Amino acid sequence: MLLMTTAVFAQNSDNPWLVSGGINVLSLQNDFSNPLNDNQVYRKGDFPGANIGVPSLAVFRTIKGGLAIGTQFSLNQMNRETGTGSVDFFAIDAALKYGINRDGGVSPYFKGGWGFSSFDAIEGGDYDFSKSLTNTYFGSFGLNFKLGDRWSAFAETSYRATQDRPEVNYLLTSAGISIGLGSGDRDKDGISDKKDKCPDTPGLKEFDGCPDTDEDGLPDNEDDCPEEAGPIENKGCPDTDGDGVLDKDDSCPDVAGLAELNGCPDADEDGIADQEDECPEEAGPTENNGCPWPDTDGDGVLDKDDECPEEAGTGANGCPEVSSEIIEALNDVGLNILFAADSYRIMGSKAMKAFEALKDILDKNPKGIVLIQGHASQEGDAEYNLNLSRKRAEAVRSRLIELGVDAARLEVEAFGETVLAGDNSTAEGRAKSRRVEFKSKQQ
């Protein structure tokens, strides 16, 4: 019934199958060359110029591009102008079809093929049906007019030549309506695979078959955050805190922050994000985890640089300095501590009394670090004398520690023969050079 009411399948790049149905018009181009089954020879003038019949049916399948293969059938009846007698007609063919501009509004096409035509003038009776069939060759031209995604109208004309029983040339023109079916739709979303940008995932027509999982108006294939709704200008990604850093890149998505800190705030502006800053309200260096360095003794020298962090000092190293008067007193006493040549042993009663006096001075002035500097005369090798001078300073330090002086207050330095106390060409000058001196430690 659908085909008899001219319903047709239109064929284009999305719809490989073409099943067509419509009306046909038969027009003889010459007289029959031999009699039909009723032994009469009919002439072109015996019939009207155009004989309208139904149906005209066809089924075609696209092979590649615009080329299709198929079969078609037409049924008609030619009534004589005299009103007596008629000829029943049908044609069944195999054909190749080639369409041009198949997706356009108007698509021309060509057909060519071979089949059978039948002109039967006997109504009923017992006869050999095969004798009414004649080989037929034909060529066709048609136009397809697009009416929608699937529907279109068509009209075509075919010039045909039969070979025998009878020999005759005729035009067969047909027209109808077309609808295309058969295109693939793997994801069953109603959009053909050819037009579907996401053929394996059901989607929406407005997005060419792609889904919009988060319903933010951006299809998943263009959405950098398909599971989270976000504005189109952010490629579908949200920015909850509005700091310009998308949530997917934001280490602190609920608190506005700085791009250079991955979206996290820095309240004290010390370059360390608050969640990593041990002192988020006070600016401090990275090496101290964002906290300012303490100055325990309040002397202006930070504990990290203060060699005496718990004792206020006046020196650059944060330690209290020993006054010049005390150093002078220590050196006055130290004149009594001399060493024999090539020796660092402390000997003699003068030296022992000198140590008691040194301890007394240091005990009365308990702040500050004192440097004990060892010296040597020019006798011997310079490197040897440097080591010897160090041993002399260490011997003095050890003796003072034995007497109860705080070891933390005493440090040693070695100068070897670089700082002489007298003319080393004389025995007296060399003896004065074998000594120690005291200095206040400064930076």
DSSP secondary structure, 226-295, as one string = TTS---GGGTT---TT-SSS-GGG-SSTTS--BGGGTTB--TT-SSS-GGG-SSTTS---GGGTTPPPP-
Cα distance between residue 244 and residue 236, in whole Å: 14
Kindly state the percentage of the chain with pLDDT values over 90. Answer: 62
Confidence of residue 8 (pLDDT cuts 50, 70, 90): very low
Sheet of strand 436-440: strand arrangement = 410-414, 370-374, 436-440
Whether the bond into 55 is cis, omega within 30 of 0:
yes
One-letter amino acid identity for 4?
M
pLDDT tens per residue, range 352-389: 999 999 999 999 998 888 999 999 999 889 999 999 99
Confidence of residue 130 (pLDDT cuts 50, 70, 90): low
Exposed, middle or buried: residue 359 (CB in 10 Å: 0-12, 13-18, 19+)? middle
Tokens of 416: 């070897």
Tokens of 388: 């010897």
Q: Is the pLDDT of residue 2 over 50?
A: no
Residue 178, SS3 per DSSP? strand
One-letter amino acid identity for 36?
L
Q: Is the pLDDT of residue 113 over 60?
A: yes
N- to C-terminal Cα separation, the chain: 111
Given a contact cutoff of 8 angstroms between Cβ atoms, the answer to whether 233 and 246 are in contact is no
The domain 324-440 belongs to what CATH superfamily?
A: OmpA-like domain (3.30.1330.60)
pLDDT at 15: 64
pLDDT tens per residue, range 36-86: 887 888 899 999 889 999 999 999 988 888 899 999 999 999 998 887 778
CATH level 2 (architecture), domain 17-179: Beta Barrel (2.40)
Sequence ranges of the chain with CATH classification 3.30.1330.60: 324-440
Q: Which letter does DSSP use for residue 205 in this model?
A: G
pTM above 0.75, yes or no: no
Please list the residues that pair with 61 across neighbouring strands. Answer: 17, 69
Query: Please, what is the average pLDDT of the chain?
Result: 88
Bridge pairing between strands 370-374 and 410-414: parallel
Please list the residues that pair with 434 across neighbouring strands. Answer: none
Cα distance between residue 201 and residue 189, in whole Å: 8
Is residue 400 within a helix (H) or strand (E), and if so which, with residue range? Answer: helix 382-402
Measured from the Cβ of residue 1, the count of other Cβ atoms closer than 10 Å reads 5
Sequence ranges of the chain with CATH classification 2.40.160.20: 17-179
pLDDT at 126: 57
Cα distance between residue 422 and residue 432, in whole Å: 6
Confidence of residue 11 (pLDDT cuts 50, 70, 90): very low
